[in-house]
Structure 1
Amino acid sequence: MSQSLQLILEDADGQQQPASCERFAVLWQGREVWIQQDGSGQLLIGVDTEEGDSEYANLVLRPLASNLVGIQLEMEPMGDEDAGHVHGPDCGHDH
C-alpha cells in the first residue's frame, strides 16, 4: 500500500489544487499537528513535543454529525502526578 497521501488544497476563493506527500503538519495553537498513514490504511494524527516542553498535547475527538468530528487540543502537565495523571506503560506518553 502506498504511503503517499493525496491532498486537495483549497484557497479562500474555492480554487482547488491537488498535491501529495508522505506526511504533513498543520500549525494549530502553536503546535505542529502531524498527519500520516501507518501502512495498513489507518490515518495517524499526532502532536510533536519538543525538548523543554512542560505539557503534553492531547487530541480529543468528538462527534458533531454523521460525517464530522471536532478535534480539540488539550494540554496536560508533564510529570505532575498531583494533576491527576500518573504516567505508566498504558498512558500513551513517550517517557
Structure 2
Amino acid sequence: MSDGIFKPDSIPMLALGYRFQWEPAQDCHVLLYPEGMVKLNGPAAEILKRINDKQQTVAELIAELKVAFNGADLDDDVYQFLEEAYGNDWIRKQ
C-alpha cells in the first residue's frame, strides 16, 4: 500500500504534544495529550511503541513487526493504521 501519506521510506513520529505510555489505571497503553487520553488496543500499541522508541522508516517498522509476530502479513494493516493515526493527528511524518 503506497497511495497514502506514508511510503516505505517515510519516518512516522508522534505528533507534538502527544506522549505514549503504559497506564496502569487503564491496564493498557495510551496516548496522552493536553485535552485527554486515547486508550490503545494491542496492535496500535505495538506500532506506536516502535514509533516512540526510535526513528525508523515504515519499511523498517514493518520488518520489525514481522519478526515479532512470526512473519505475519501485516503490511496493509500497518499502513491503514498509520493513515488513521495521521488523520487523527496522533502522528506526523518527519
Higher RCO (C-alpha under 8 Å, 6+ residues apart): 2
In the superposition, the TM-score normalised over structure 1's length comes to 0.25
Q: Which has the higher strand share?
A: 1
Bigger radius of gyration among the two: 1
In the superposition, the TM-score normalised over structure 2's length comes to 0.25
Q: Which has the higher helix share?
A: 2
